[in-house]
Amino acid sequence: MDWQTIVFEVIDMRSFSNLWFWIALAVMWSSASHWVMGVPFDMVTRARRQGGQAEADLADMVRINCNRLLYIAGVSGLILIAAISFILTMLGVLGFAYKVEFAQAVFLLAFPMAIVFGLSIRTARRIGAQQMQPEGLAKLLTRHRIVIQAIGMVSIFVTALWGMFQNLSHGLLVN
């Protein structure tokens, strides 16, 4: 046996049985629920508790990130929608019609994040249109975070079920 065979027997390179995939999934959803629209959520809780300068900082940070998101959506929104749709469709077809496991794994990571990105743009438009006060911003960002966490829980659940199915079916085919 050569060293490559030994490495590939010890470390399974399939997506759903690879520990790095599950670590990446956990880090991705942890980051998505902590950085709500580019604002760290501890800043939201600090603004709610302390008020004053912490609320002003939150309002400034939200304004900057909302303007950034709205600029990106305004300038290249149509191109982004077309490119993301093409990539997600390509991954979906490769993954689920042609049974490419890597494409399935990337699709299960990317599709929910595309939904979160769309919700973030919608929330940014809402904030920009209403010119909210800091206490209203904190409530809205908290609700947005809860929605992101719900999407993350459903995504992790579906990915875990699909990953277990893939691992069990692969194990049955090998043995």
- pLDDT of amino acid 169: 86
Domain ranges, ordered by start, for the chain: 53-162
- Tell me the per-residue pLDDT of 25-52, one tens digit each, with 9 for 90 and over: 999 999 999 999 999 999 999 999 998 8
Predicted pLDDT of residue 154 = 98
Please give the average per-residue pLDDT across 45-67, as a whole number: 93
pLDDT for the residue 162: 96
Q: Which tokens sit at 60?
A: 């400034």
pTM, full prediction: 0.87
